[in-house]
Amino acid sequence: MRLTREKTVRLSHRIIDFLVSSPDVDFVEDRDTIRQEIVSIITALLKVEAQVDTEVRAKIASQKKEILEGSEEWTSSTANTTLKG
C-alpha cells in the first residue's frame, strides 16, 4: 500500500493518541520523538513493501506465459515470491 507523507504522519498521530489513552503505556521519551520514530518505521516498512512488489512484478513479467494481475496465478506467484524472498 502506498501512503503519502501526510497520511503517514496522520497515522503516527493516531498511534500516539492511542498509546496516550492506554493506561498500560508510560512514555520515557517525549511524544514527538516517539511519533517521529513511528513515521520512520512506517516509511521503512513501505520501502520494503515497494521493493518486494517490484521484485514480484519482475518475476511475474519474466514468466513465459502471461499472468494477468489479480488472477489466481498472480496471487499464487506473489505469495511464493514473497515467501522465498
pLDDT, tens digit, 9 for 90 and up, residues 11-26: 999 999 999 999 999 9
Average pLDDT rounded to a whole number, residues 70-83: 71
Higher pLDDT residue, 73 or 18? Answer: 18
Question: How many structural domains compose the chain?
Answer: 1
Angle between helical axes of 31-61 and 5-21 (0-180°, round to 10): 130
CB atoms within 10 A of CB 83: 7
Q: Each residue of 24-64: pLDDT tens digit?
A: 999 899 999 999 999 999 999 999 999 999 998 888 888 76
pTM for the model stands at 0.69
Q: Which domain range does residue 53 map to?
A: 5-84
